[in-house]
Amino acid sequence: MKTSRKRILALTVALMAGFGSTMQAQAVTMPTATISFPALTKVTYGNPDIALNITQSAGVTTATSVTPTICSVLNNSTIKILTSGVCKITATNPGAVTHKPARAVTRSFTISKAVNTVTLSDFGWLSMANPTADLTATETSGTTTLTSLTTKYCTLSGNKVTAIKVGTCTIRASNPGNSNYLPAKSVSKSVKIGLTSTVAPPVVPPVTLRRSLDYQTVELQ
């Protein structure tokens, strides 16, 4: 009987020890949370915000911009483009009660510069009879520079072109772009300067000044 009791006691201790080691093993093998963060495609400056499509096996995932001067994350759901360059977003997850922290995932994509265009107004009335014309250049972005390619026949001062003598006047508008826009394709326009021109210069409407005197309005022409 004494021997049987000893065996039963030893068996009980062994079973308890095995049960404890099993619990320890289960605690050690707690699963690790995972993050699914699809690759992000190349975009262009000026594009709308990009939706983030991040999922996880457990816990809460947070998206953070590693390049905050180039792009930012709004409400943990969208990416806002700030400037051209390479945007990097990192997703982290601290895990949960039942899961270990997830391995961080970083995605990067390129934000390309946008297309830049330039237009130049006409000045077909330029002649020796009407020797000046104010030019207007418009662009998508950046600063446009006007240049006379025929300084023998016409010159530029700011945006005003002046005819010097009969010949062909050619003006070029160029724009080097900037940090967010590509260089624009240069635009050139030419006008044959004659003694007179069949094209009439634009008519500037007269400016009417109004002055209020004793609650009465007087028009000054």
The pLDDT of residue 204 is 56
pLDDT in tens, 95-144: 999 999 999 999 999 999 999 999 999 999 999 999 999 999 999 999 99
In terms of domains, do 51 and 88 share one?
A: yes
118 or 220: whose pLDDT is higher? 118
- Radius of gyration of the chain from Cα atoms? 38
Q: Which residues contact 17 (CB under 8 A, 6 or more apart)?
A: none
Using CA atoms, how far residue 71 sits from 80, 114, 179, in Å, is 6, 16, 14
- Domain count of the fold of the chain: 2
pLDDT band (50, 70, 90) for residue 220: very low
Domain containing residue 54? 35-112
Q: Are residues 158 and 105 in the same domain?
A: no
- Residue 54 falls inside a structural domain: yes
Taking the chain, what is the end-to-end CA distance rounded to the nearest angstrom?
132
Whether residue 219 is contained in a domain is answered as no
83 and 106 fall within a common domain = yes
Last residue of a domain, one of 112, 144, 162: 112
The pLDDT tens digits of the residues spanning 170-215 come to 999 999 999 999 999 999 999 999 999 888 777 656 655 555 445 4
Residue 99 lies in a domain: yes
Question: Whole-angstrom Cα distance, residue 83 to residue 90?
Answer: 18
Q: Could you report the per-residue pLDDT of 26-50, keeping only the tens digit for each? A: 556 899 999 999 999 999 999 999 9
Q: Which residues of 192-205 are buried (b: 16+ CB within 10 A; e: fewer)?
A: ebeeebeeebeeee
CB distance 64 to 73 below 8 Å? yes
Q: What is the pTM of this model?
A: 0.74
Return the CATH number at 100: 2.60.40.10
Is residue 16 assigned to a domain?
A: no
